């Protein structure tokens, strides 16, 4: 049958039981579940001209399958999430590896026993590794903060090396902040791995959709009860009604085409933008991407190389490692991080988590507290960093609740 794309102008909103804003994993999973399990007629509102959110991929002019919004590698320990998306596409086995470019020398990331030997030489590395095992245990992941807290001068030497050569400059480029200003939940994502396992992830289930993410979303949204409106912004079609004219007055209803919509509204976009940034925009980091196609089978030694001490970009990704595509040419992508200043020309990628910004977000969230049919879901709507599998799990949990309510 294929994905059913409709013009919003032609819709009769009374034909639908649920509205989903956004067609990334959060929105697509909920839409499919409501249609398939509850028999609900669902309309998906998507501001972009394509489905799939930031997971969207397509073939470039050279015929290389590229991820248009940064590399996405699926990994999870959540069996339900993995089994769920396996329904919609064939999968290829892929275990991601990342190297740090240390002045032209490659170090495995996360920093591990192999990295230690490259950085310190075999003899010293063995001594330092023994001390790490004695302190933390073998096959353990230790955060950079845990390591820096140790009083032992040799452990401090390891921590200082990793901090200066793997963590510091990369973090400054990525976040535009000093490491001390970055939330601990972010720094915890940069561990030291007391192991020789060079895989970036150690999750039980890892892989990539065999035909790409776009094909996965086309399959997931291919249902007779799901319609999709592309190039449509929720804030332009939602008429928000509030309890009063006070700035912090809560929502009482969302009307569409002059009709109050009382069915579930699952919203996956930026919550501040829905309210036209009345309290000011929530801070994010955005990204720019520069693509290069080369007349070579490969130009990198693995899927991603992080530039932790040089260059103004944070990393380079070579997509053929991720996709398994065979082609005489290859396309790489350089990634630049910068502030999110203009919602019309930029994309919010990473929420900048701290107490002040959390309070800022909570003020927006409080506006929705009285509207029981409004459900914010996902990275943007919840102002959190979630991996894909967590989003899928949260979407399935919300769908369980909404289906049960039906």
Q: pLDDT for 159-206, tens place per residue?
A: 899 989 998 899 899 998 776 777 666 666 678 999 999 999 999 999
Structural domains present in the chain: 8-51+221-277+352-405 (3.40.50.720), 98-193 (no CATH)
Over 90: is that where the pLDDT of 81 sits?
Answer: yes
Per residue in 16-53, pLDDT tens?
999 999 999 999 999 999 999 999 999 999 999 999 99
List b or e across 50-70, with b for residues whose CB sees 16 or more CB atoms inside 10 angstroms: ebbbbbbbeebeeebbbbbbe
Q: Which is nearest to 81 in space by CA: 377, 390, 379, 399?
A: 390
What pLDDT score was predicted for residue 254?
Answer: 97
Do 27 and 21 meet the contact criterion of CB atoms below 8 Å apart?
Answer: yes
Q: CB neighbours (10 Å) of residue 382?
A: 18
What pLDDT score was predicted for residue 178?
Answer: 75
Q: Residue 135: enclosing H or E segment and its boundaries? A: helix 122-136
More confident residue, 188 or 370: 370
Q: CB neighbours (10 Å) of residue 122?
A: 9
How far apart, in whole angstroms, are the C-alpha atoms of residue 279 and residue 91?
44
DSSP 331-390: EEEEEEEEE---TTT----EE--SHHHHHHHHHHHHTTTT-TTEEE-SHHHHT----HHH
Per residue in 371-389, pLDDT tens?
999 999 999 999 999 999 9
What pLDDT score was predicted for residue 188?
Answer: 61
Over 80: is that where the pLDDT of 80 sits?
Answer: yes
Cis preceding-peptide flag for 110 (omega within 30 of 0): yes
How far apart, in whole angstroms, are the C-alpha atoms of residue 308 and residue 105?
11
Q: CB neighbours (10 Å) of residue 76?
A: 21
Q: What percent of the chain has pLDDT over 70?
A: 98
Mean pLDDT for 343-365 is 95
What pLDDT score was predicted for residue 37?
Answer: 97
Mean pLDDT for 91-115 is 97
The model's pTM: 0.94
Over 70: is that where the pLDDT of 370 sits?
Answer: yes
């Amino acid at each position: 049958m294929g994905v059913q794309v409709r013009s919003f102008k032609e819709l009769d909103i009374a034909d639908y039981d649920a509205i989903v804003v956004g067609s990334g994993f959060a929105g697509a999973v909920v839409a499919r579940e409501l249609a398939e399990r509850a028999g609900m007629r669902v309309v998906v509102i998507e501001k972009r001209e394509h489905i799939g959110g930031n997971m969207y991929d397509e073939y470039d002019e050279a015929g290389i399958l590229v991820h248009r919004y940064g590399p996405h590698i699926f990994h999870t320990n959540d069996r339900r999430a993995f089994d769920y998306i396996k329904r919609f596409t064939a999968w290829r086995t892929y275990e991601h590896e990342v190297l740090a470019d240390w002045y032209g020398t490659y170090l495995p990331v996360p920093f591990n026993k192999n990295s230690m030997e490259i950085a310190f030489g075999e003899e010293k590395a063995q001594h330092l590794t023994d001390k790490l095992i004695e302190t933390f245990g073998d096959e353990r992941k230790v955060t950079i903060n845990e390591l820096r807290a140790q009083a032992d001068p040799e452990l401090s030497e390891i921590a200082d090396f990793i901090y200066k050569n793997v963590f510091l400059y990369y973090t400054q480029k990525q976040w535009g902040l000093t490491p001390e200003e970055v939330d601990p939940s972010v720094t915890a994502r940069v561990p030291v791995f007391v192991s020789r396992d060079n895989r970036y992830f150690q999750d039980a289930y890892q892989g990539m959709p065999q035909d790409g993410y776009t094909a996965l979303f086309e399959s997931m949204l291919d249902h007779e009860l799901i319609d999709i409106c592309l190039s449509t912004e929720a804030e332009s079609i939602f008429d928000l009604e509030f309890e009063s004219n006070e700035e912090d007055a809560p929502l009482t209803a969302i009307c569409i085409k002059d009709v109050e919509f009382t069915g579930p509204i699952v919203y996956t976009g930026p919550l501040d933008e829905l309210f036209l940034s009345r309290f000011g925009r929530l801070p994010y980091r955005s990204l720019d991407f520069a693509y290069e196609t080369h007349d070579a089978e490969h130009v990198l030694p693995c899927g991603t190389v992080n530039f932790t001490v040089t260059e103004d970009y944070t990393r380079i990704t070579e997509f053929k490692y991720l996709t398994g595509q065979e082609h005489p040419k290859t396309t790489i992508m350089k990634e630049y991080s910068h502030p999110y200043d203009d919602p019309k020309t930029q994309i919010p990628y990473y929420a900048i988590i701290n107490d002040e910004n959390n309070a800022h977000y909570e003020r927006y969230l409080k506006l929705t507290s009285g509207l029981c049919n409004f459900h914010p879901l996902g990275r943007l709507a919840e102002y959190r960093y979630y991996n894909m599998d967590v989003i899928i799990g949260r979407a399935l949990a919300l769908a369980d609740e909404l289906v049960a309510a039906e």
